[in-house]
Amino acid sequence: MRVSDAVFNNARGDLPGKLGLTYEALRDVNARIVCCSLSAFGSTGPRAAEPGYDYLIQGYAGYMDVTGEPDGPPGKCGVSIIDFAGGYAAMLGLMVALFDAQRTGVGREVEVSLMDTAVSMLSYFATWTLNRDWTPARTRHSGHQTLVPAQNFPTRDGWIVIFCAKEKFWTRLVEIMDLPELGRDPRFGSFPDRVRHKDALIPVLEDRFRTRTTTEWLALLRGQVPCAPVNSVSQALEDEQVLARDMIIDVEHPHFGTIREVATPIKTEGALTHPAPAPRLGEHTDAILREVLSYGDRTIAALRSKGAIG
């Protein structure tokens, strides 16, 4: 720990303190060290000692209650969004703490929990719930809570996403769809009007969207009205924008050969464009013990015989 900049763990919330992985335990060894913990519930509170996973947190934090069709069961997000967001939050906290430690010579504890991350991402849902007489609910076809039209629409051969976040997009939408009567109808004259009369408006739009394919509608609307296809995962990985941004890369693996993977979303000069494959379990243990901690072969062998290292 004397030569380390940071210690990171992904243990249960009550374990870092017991294992001596906190700044309080290590500050006398290295005052500059940053200790970062990512757990399900954090180190305090009644559930600190409980294991937790993305699935559970989506239930705890209300995500499932607002996901799915109104008359269907609660659902989860299709990907492990809270796991990923928790990792990003921990990375940000760790990097900021490292920057401060380099500046001041003093490290710190950084703690991130999946539960805290999920609750923070409730964002305006939480603000409105806490400060208004308002309760979020599941909406038909993944409609936005307060914007209309902003939802999925069935087309002749699939689905299209429409998101009219500004009045100009609504105006352009009815023009392109050849529905000028909707633009003149006072029931749909503003965002609040369209929300109030949503049940009258959406069926008209749905009927019109069903007259063309998704590709045909995208050709008409793209660049004029915010829109997107509802892609499969395979289609998303073949999207022209994804490919143009070099988001699919080849990685050479010593056992599996060439593996296609998704790249980092962070684009910056000097970033690796051909990263090495992930190390095997324990692949770099001996090198780290020798080069960083200056341990000899006999010391490493003794640690391994005692089960201290894998």
Burial of residue 118, with CB atoms counted within 10 A of its CB: 0-12 exposed, 13-18 middle, 19 or more buried? buried
Confidence of residue 2 (pLDDT cuts 50, 70, 90): confident
Residues of the chain with pLDDT > 90, as a percent, come to: 92
Cα–Cα distance, 48 to 116 (Å, whole number): 12
Position 306 scores a pLDDT of 93
Residues 143-172: what's their mean pLDDT? 97
Residues 290-295: what's their mean pLDDT? 88
Position 218 scores a pLDDT of 98
Look up the pTM and report it.
Answer: 0.90
Topology of the domain covering 146-226: formyl-coa transferase, domain 3 (3.30.1540)
Position 309 scores a pLDDT of 87
- The residue with greater pLDDT, 280 or 48, is 48
User: Residue 310 pLDDT > 90, yes or no?
Assistant: no
Domain ranges of the chain: 6-131, 146-226, 231-276, 279-310
Q: What is the pLDDT of residues 80-117, one digit of tens each?
A: 999 999 999 999 999 999 999 999 999 999 999 999 99
What values do phi and psi take at 104, rounded to 5?
A: -110, -20
Q: What is the pLDDT of residues 210-230, one digit of tens each?
A: 999 999 999 999 999 999 999
- For 41-192, strand residue ranges (E) read 108-113, 150-154, 159-163
Q: What is the pLDDT of residues 234-278, one digit of tens each?
A: 999 999 999 999 999 999 999 999 999 999 999 999 988 888 998
| Average pLDDT for the chain | 96
Burial 130-153 (b: 16+ CB within 10 A, else e): eeeeeeeebbeeebeeebbbbbbb
Topology of the domain covering 6-131: Rossmann fold (3.40.50)
Number of separate helices (H) and strands (E) present in the chain: 15, 8
Position 272 scores a pLDDT of 85
Which residues, in sequence order, are CB contacts of 201 under 8 Å at separation 6+? 148, 149, 182, 187, 188, 194
